[in-house]
Amino acid sequence: MRILLIEDDAVLGAAVRDQIAGDGYSVDWVQRLDAGDNAMASAAYDLVLLDLMLPDGRGIPFLRRLRARGVATPVIILTALDQVSDRIEGLNAGADDYLVKPFDLDELSARIGSVARRYGGNPNPLISHGPLKIDLAARSVHRDGRLVSLTAREWALLEALLSRPGQLLSKALLEEKLYAFDAEVESNTIEVHVSRLRKKLGAELIETERGMGYRLGQS
């Protein structure tokens, strides 16, 4: 999943960025609304984390403009504005969730996962796929009853495939989901992650169409 963080506080922004990256997601961090507009024009994001008070304006009008243009990307507001009226305004403007600062970073991770599942069409965090039992909320996977340890990148790749069952995902798309703009990605990175997932979870988990991409195998 690729996430855009629009937050001007350097300390909080770095903490949120590191938390998201630690969860295995790709994150691009900007500190102004105009930079957020530019980022959204050049990349397809799965989620936006939006502060409401930025150096070049307020987040609510920015969010209203997104929705007016038909942009359906989910948005979680991160703000110190904690009045009920502020929350109502944010949700009515098109936000999917509203988190008041200071907040727990693990709670942010949980809310990101919840919003992503709703948009993926399956709010249930428990998924069965062949011999696999997957808990998206707990970020755990069992194979034949045995817990399998995955790295953050391996988990993010598995989650990307699970979010689009049966669909062919190109290598370029998967790189976008897993890595930010400024990350150095070696040419065989996705192939390495796919190989490791197959070893851990079963060779039949991921199907390859040579030169085209990967899809989740039949359960």
Q: What are the angstrom distances between the C-alpha of 163 and each of 68, 99, 214?
A: 26, 24, 13
Residues of the chain with pLDDT under 50: none
Q: Do 115 and 194 fall into the same domain?
A: no
Distance CA 118, CA 125 (A): 10
Q: Do 75 and 150 fall into the same domain?
A: no
Q: Do 192 and 85 fall into the same domain?
A: no
Distance CA 95, CA 88 (A): 10
Q: Do 112 and 188 fall into the same domain?
A: no
On the question of a cis peptide bond just before residue 102, with omega within 30 degrees of 0, the verdict is yes
Looking at residue 172, its pLDDT comes to: 86
Q: Is the dihedral of CA 135, 95, 26, 80 positive or negative?
A: negative
pTM: 0.75
Where residue 81 sits, what CATH number does that domain have?
A: 3.40.50.2300
Q: Do 138 and 205 fall into the same domain?
A: yes
Looking at residue 184, its pLDDT comes to: 66
Looking at residue 88, its pLDDT comes to: 94
Q: Is the dihedral of CA 44, 49, 52, 53 positive or negative?
A: negative
Q: What are the angstrom distances between the C-alpha of 147 and each of 129, 142, 150, 167?
A: 15, 4, 10, 27
In terms of residue numbers, what domain contains 59?
2-119
Domain count, the chain: 2
Q: Do 77 and 177 fall into the same domain?
A: no
SS3 state of residue 186: coil
Q: Do 133 and 108 fall into the same domain?
A: no
Looking at residue 108, its pLDDT comes to: 95
Looking at residue 185, its pLDDT comes to: 64
Q: Do 32 and 108 fall into the same domain?
A: yes
Nearest alpha-carbon partner for 187 in 198, 202, 209, 171: 171
Structure tokens at 2: 């690729």
Q: Do 104 and 212 fall into the same domain?
A: no
Looking at residue 213, its pLDDT comes to: 92
Count CB-CB contacts under 10 A for residue 52: 22
